[in-house]
Amino acid sequence: MKDKIAQSFENLFGSSPILAFAPGRINLIGEHTDYQDGLVFPAAVAQGIWVAIQKNNLPTCRIYSEDYSEEFVFDINSFSPKKGHWANYTMGMVAQFQQAGYKLEGFDLVFGGNIPASGLSSSAALSVAVGTALSALFKLEISQKSIVLYAQKSEHLFAGVKCGIMDPYASAFGKANHALLLDCRTNKHIEVAVDFMSHSLLLVNSKVKHNLADSAYNKRRESCEESVKILQSIYPDATTLRDIPVEDLAKVQQTLPNELFLKAKHVITEIERVNLASKALNESDLISFGALLKESHKSLSKDFEVSCVELDFLAEKSWKLPGVIGSRMMGGGFGGCTINLISNESLETFQTEIHTAYKEKFGIDADFIPVTLSEGARILS
């Protein structure tokens, strides 16, 4: 893919470009907790987005998407988001750099990737790859952390999704064979060495993406914020659901209307599950780790209501299959992938069983995506 992007750049724009790469991410556990200052447990994967970039001595930026086979041009000093357009992720990053006071000049950029499914955060990978490329092109002294924060802000302002920090963070800071135990309050992480012994992570791509996923995501975030406002009557110092102790759930239930309580309950218990899951992994206790994945799914589905019939079917079917340690929906929800931890000797049967059952129920050929925990964003020589 790297050579293809470099070649495509040379064909379109000529001069030899700088090349950057940023990976997609998985999340072991800790869903919809990042925007409530919670804990998450993601990792970068080997698949990602490549960006080729070079200055063009023009007042415009010419950007080309390899996947869409399409060019888009914008004036470096005057541009705005275009609803639903792939160019928003580049323009959004340029806007963030400018906002921070960096003077940028016109550039040419080509990007493309090999992220095989939705739910692996290709948008964060693209933003981080563009940020990494811009920083190298203009020789800016800019930290990885800043690139992560710009990517998050860019997604808010140019894509309209009020996401948390997890996805760009994992893309920027990923480490081979490690997951990142990230505290979204301090924006600091611990690298946790992951050894699944004779087991592997396998994603199942449901191949569905339900409409309104972005607006439902923003709504979930709003309901958490609404809960916090109400809970401030008994926890005056609380700023997010992270501040509510899991032992106090009964008190929380008495204070919140049921709809809000169920959403808050998910976030509060999910943060605790991340704690427990990281401990279980440290102790090589895969059985407890798997049980927490199942609890996470149930909570996301029943209480937080971000699953869908297809993801529920895949998770529920997986729980019953031999050799499956854990299975749950992954990411924002309403489609995308499940993440599964499976004993190596059961991998083949698992795929056959899931493929057949899913095809029979929904008429869709599910895809299976093996993932390995990999390095984060970088400039390629």
- Tell me: does residue 36 bind ligand GAF (CB under 6 A): no
> Going residue by residue from 82 to 121, which x/- string records binding to ligand GAF, judged by CB under 6 A?
---------------------------------------x
Q: Is 287 in a helix, a strand, or coil?
A: helix
Closer residue to ligand GAF, CB minimum distance, 164 or 326: 164
Q: Which of 167, 214, 243, 303 is catalytic?
A: 167
Select the residue interacting with ligand GAF from 19, 22, 31, 252 (CB under 6 A).
31
- Tell me: does residue 228 bind ligand GAF (CB under 6 A): no
Q: Which letter does DSSP use for residue 181 in this model?
A: E
Closer residue to ligand GAF, CB minimum distance, 117 or 354: 117
- Tell me: does residue 270 bind ligand GAF (CB under 6 A): no
- Tell me: does residue 163 bind ligand GAF (CB under 6 A): yes
- Is 167 an active-site residue? yes
Q: 168 to each of 29, 76, 178, 231, 282, how far by Cα in Å? A: 16, 24, 16, 30, 25
CA dihedral 350→355→357→359, nearest 10 degrees, is 170
Select the residue interacting with ligand GAF from 166, 203, 252, 260 (CB under 6 A).
166
Task: Choose among 106, 113, 93: nearest CA to 19.
Answer: 113
CA dihedral 123→128→131→137, nearest 10 degrees, is -110
Q: Where are the beta strands (DSSP E) in the chain?
A: 18-27, 39-40, 42-55, 60-65, 70-75, 107-113, 178-183, 188-193, 199-209, 324-329, 335-343, 367-370, 378-380
- Tell me: does residue 189 bind ligand GAF (CB under 6 A): no
- Tell me: does residue 32 bind ligand GAF (CB under 6 A): yes
- Residue 65: exposure state from Cβ atoms within 10 A (0-12, 13-18, ≥19): buried
Closer residue to ligand GAF, CB minimum distance, 95 or 166: 166
Q: Which range binds ligand GAF by CB under 6 A, 31-39, 109-117, 245-253, 368-376?
A: 31-39
Closer residue to ligand GAF, CB minimum distance, 60 or 223: 223
Tokens 């790297």 belong to 2
- Number of residues in contact with ligand GAF, rule: CB under 6 A? 11
Residues 120-159 that bind ligand GAF (CB under 6 A): 121
**Least separation, in Å, of the C-beta of 64 and ligand GAF?**
25
Please check whether residue 235 is in contact with residue 345, taking contact to mean a CB–CB distance below 8 angstroms: no
Q: Which two tokens stand for residue 155?
A: 């997604």
- Tell me: does residue 164 bind ligand GAF (CB under 6 A): yes
Q: Which residues are known to be catalytic?
A: 167
Which residues of the shown chain bind ligand GAF in the complex (CB under 6 A)? Answer: 31-32, 34-35, 121, 163-164, 166-167, 331-332
